[in-house]
C-alpha cells in the first residue's frame, strides 16, 4: 500500500475506511488558511476523517463506498458559534413599528423590546419553544451549518432558564447537528429584580448554575457586560461561580461602550469575547495573550446601523483568532443565514474572504472549545463537510445571501442535498 504524504497525515495510512470522497478541491482551513488540496481525496471511518491528501496519493480502501464529485470545492462544515435561536415569539411587529416612526422609548413603555421576548419565552411551553427554534434552525442547516451554539438568556428565572437549556439540549438530540449549549442567565436584569442586580447575580451563582452543572445542561457560561446589563464586577462573580463548577466562560463585551469586559474575559481565559466594537488595543493584547477568540457579529452592527467597527486590524496584527457568527436573536440580529455574515464580515468589517471563512470554520470551532475535533478538514476531525459546485472559496463570501447548491455531510453521512 503506498504511503501518502498529506498535510494531515504523517504515519501509516489507515487500514480501513467506510467512505472515500474525491473529485473536488479540499479547502482544508488548517491554521486558518484555505490550504487548498487540488483534486483532493478524503477518507472517512466511523464518522471521522482518517485521511486527506491528493487523490493521486489516496490509498486503496477495499470495500469503501466511493463518492465522486465532478469538480467544485469541499469546505469544513460551518460553525455558528454565537446564537440565541431559542426564544418565544418574535419582534417583527416592533421592527415594523420603528420603521413607521414609533420610538424605542414608546415601544419599551408598551412592554416591547427584550421584555416582550422574556414574557413570551416564560409563557411558552418547552414544546412550543422547540418548534419555534426548529423553524429558525432549518435555514442555517440547509446552507451547511453542522455545529451551532445556542444560548439561554430570555428566561431570566431559574425555572425559565432551565427550560430554555433543556430545549437546547433536545435540539442537539433531535437534529443532525452538533449543538453546544450556553447558559446566559446574566443577559438582562429581570423586571422583578429592578434595582437589585446583585441579588439576581446571587441567584445565578448560588442557585441556577449549580443545577445547570449537575444536570449537564450547559457547556459554557456567558454574560452581557454593558452599562444597560451587568458591570465587570458582577460578570466576574458569574465567571468565578462558573469556573468553580468546571464550566468555561465567554462574554458579550464592548458592543456599545468600553468597559474592558474583553480584557476581563481574557484574564479568566474565556473561550471568546463577542461583539467587541469598542474593544481597545489593550483589550486585544489581553485576548492575544490568553488565546481568547474574538467573535465578530456583523448582523447586530448592521441592524443597529452602528458606525464603530471592531478593531480588526489590531486583532489581525496580534493574531487574535477572529470568528464570525449570526448572533441570531429576535431583537438585534434576526439572521437566518451564516453565509450572509461572511459577506457582511467582509463588506462591513473589512475581513478578507479567507479570514471570514476561517471565522465560521476553524476559529468558530475554537470559540466553542472544539478546535481539536471540528473546523478543519484533517485526519482526526469529525467528518462534517460541505461540497459546493463552486470554482473557488471566495464565491461563498461573494454571493450575497441566497441558498447555493450544496451537499452537506454530517459525521460521515450525507445529511442533505440542495440542488
Q: Is the dihedral of CA 138, 183, 272, 305 positive or negative?
A: positive
Q: Is 375 annotated as a binding residue?
A: no
CB 41 → Zn ion: shortest distance, Å? 39
Beta carbon nearer to Zn ion, 87 or 385: 87
Give buried/exposed letters for 142-169 (b at 16+ CB in 10 A, else e). bbbbbbbbbbbbbbbbbebbbbbbbbbb
d(CA 126, CA 107): 27
Q: Is 329 annotated as a binding residue?
A: yes
Beta carbon nearer to Zn ion, 188 or 408: 188
Where would I find the H helices in 66-125?
A: 92-99, 104-109, 114-123
Binding-residue pattern over the window 4 to 23 for Zn ion, x denoting contact by CB under 5 A: --------------------
CB 91 → Zn ion: shortest distance, Å? 15
Beta carbon nearer to Zn ion, 69 or 95: 95
Beta carbon nearer to Zn ion, 55 or 81: 81
Place of cell 440547509: 142
Beta carbon nearer to Zn ion, 18 or 277: 277
3-state secondary structure 352-398: CHHHHHHHCCHHHHHCCCCCCCCCCCCCCCECCEEEECCCCCHHHHH
Where would I find the H helices in 248-382?
A: 261-267, 281-290, 298-303, 312-317, 338-349, 353-359, 362-366
Closest residue to Zn ion, based on beta-carbon distance: 327
d(CA 200, CA 188): 10
Strands 385-388 and 73-76: antiparallel
CB 254 → Zn ion: shortest distance, Å? 13
Q: Is 327 annotated as a binding residue?
A: yes
d(CA 360, CA 341): 9
Backbone φ and ψ of 27, nearest 5°? -100, 90
**Subset of residues 286 to 345 that bind Zn ion, contact rule: CB under 5 A:** 327
Instruction: Name the DSSP class of 55.
Output: G
Place of cell 446589563: 229
CB 407 → Zn ion: shortest distance, Å? 31
Q: Is 363 annotated as a binding residue?
A: no
d(CA 140, CA 134): 10
CB 335 → Zn ion: shortest distance, Å? 11
d(CA 313, CA 311): 6
CB 182 → Zn ion: shortest distance, Å? 10
Beta carbon nearer to Zn ion, 251 or 377: 251
Beta carbon nearer to Zn ion, 295 or 377: 295
Beta carbon nearer to Zn ion, 327 or 378: 327
Beta carbon nearer to Zn ion, 277 or 327: 327
Site size with Zn ion, rule: CB under 5 A: 1
What are the C-alpha distances in Å from 63 to residues 45, 351, 385? 12, 44, 22
* Closest CA relative to residue 409, chosen from 176, 165, 132, 174: 176
Q: Is 187 annotated as a binding residue?
A: yes
What are the C-alpha distances in Å from 289 to residues 140, 155, 266, 365? 33, 34, 8, 19
Q: Is 331 annotated as a binding residue?
A: yes
CB 133 → Zn ion: shortest distance, Å? 15
Dihedral class, residue 91 (left if φ above 0, else alpha if ψ from -120 to 50, else beta) = alpha
CB 62 → Zn ion: shortest distance, Å? 49
d(CA 342, CA 345): 5
CB 220 → Zn ion: shortest distance, Å? 13
Annotated binding site for Fe(3+): 82, 84, 252, 327
Annotated binding site: 82, 84, 91, 154, 187, 252, 255, 327, 329, 331-332
Annotated binding site for 4-imidazolone-5-propanoate: 91, 154, 187, 255, 332
Annotated binding site for N-formimidoyl-L-glutamate: 154, 329, 331
- Residues in contact with Zn ion by CB under 5 A are 327
Amino acid at each position: 500500500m503506498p504511503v501518502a504524504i498529506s498535510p494531515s497525515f504523517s504515519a501509516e495510512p489507515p487500514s480501513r475506511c467506510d467512505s472515500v470522497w474525491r473529485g473536488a478541491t479540499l479547502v482544508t482551513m488548517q491554521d486558518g488558511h484555505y490550504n487548498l488540496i487540488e483534486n483532493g481525496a478524503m477518507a472517512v471511518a466511523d464518522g471521522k476523517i482518517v485521511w486527506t491528501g491528493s487523490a493521486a496519493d489516496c490509498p486503496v480502501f477495499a470495500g469503501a463506498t466511493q463518492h465522486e464529485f465532478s469538480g467544485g470545492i469541499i469546505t469544513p462544515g460551518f460553525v455558528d458559534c454565537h446564537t440565541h435561536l431559542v426564544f418565544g415569539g418574535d419582534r417583527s411587529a416592533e421592527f415594523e413599528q420603528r420603521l413607521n416612526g414609533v420610538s424605542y422609548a414608546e415601544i419599551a413603555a408598551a412592554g416591547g423590546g427584550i421584555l416582550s421576548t422574556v414574557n413570551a419565552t416564560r409563557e411558552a411551553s418547552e414544546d412550543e419553544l422547540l418548534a419555534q427554534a426548529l423553524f429558525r434552525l432549518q435555514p442555517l442547516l440547509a446552507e451547511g451549518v453542522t455545529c451551532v451554539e445556542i444560548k439561554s438568556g430570555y428566561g431570566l428565572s431559574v425555572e425559565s432558564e432551565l427550560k430554555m437549556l433543556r430545549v437546547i439540549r433536545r435540539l442537539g438530540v433531535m437534529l443532525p447537528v452538533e449543538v453546544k449549549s450556553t447558559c446566559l442567565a446574566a443577559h438582562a436584569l429581570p423586571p422583578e429584580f429592578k434595582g437589585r442586580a446583585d441579588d439576581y447575580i446571587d441567584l445565578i451563582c448560588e442557585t441556577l448554575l449549580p443545577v445547570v452543572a449537575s444536570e449537564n445542561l450547559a457547556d459554557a457560561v456567558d454574560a452581557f457586560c454593558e452599562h444597560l446589563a451587568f458591570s465587570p464586577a458582577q460578570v466576574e462573580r458569574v465567571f468565578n461561580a462558573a469556573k468553580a463548577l468546571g464550566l468555561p466562560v465567554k462574554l458579550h463585551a464592548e458592543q456599545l461602550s468600553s468597559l474592558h469586559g474583553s480584557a476581563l474575559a481574557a484574564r479568566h481565559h474565556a473561550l471568546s469575547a463577542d461583539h467587541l466594537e469598542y474593544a481597545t488595543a489593550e483589550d486585544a493584547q489581553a485576548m492575544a495573550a490568553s488565546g481568547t477568540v474574538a467573535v465578530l457579529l456583523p448582523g447586530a452592527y448592521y441592524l443597529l446601523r452602528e458606525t464603530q467597527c471592531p478593531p480588526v486590524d489590531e486583532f489581525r496584527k496580534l493574531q487574535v483568532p477572529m470568528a464570525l457568527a449570526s448572533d441570531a436573536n429576535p431583537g438585534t440580529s434576526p439572521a437566518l443565514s451564516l453565509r450572509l455574515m461572511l459577506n457582511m464580515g467582509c463588506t462591513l468589517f473589512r475581513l478578507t474572504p479567507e479570514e471570514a471563512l476561517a471565522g465560521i470554520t476553524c476559529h468558530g470551532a475554537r470559540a466553542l472549545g472544539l478546535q481539536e475535533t471540528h473546523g478543519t478538514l484533517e485526519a482526526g476531525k469529525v467528518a462534517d463537510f460541505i461540497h459546493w459546485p463552486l470554482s473557488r472559496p471566495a464565491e461563498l463570501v461573494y454571493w450575497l445571501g441566497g441558498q447555493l447548491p450544496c451537499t452537506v455531510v454530517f459525521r460521515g453521512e450525507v445529511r442533505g442535498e440542495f440542488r
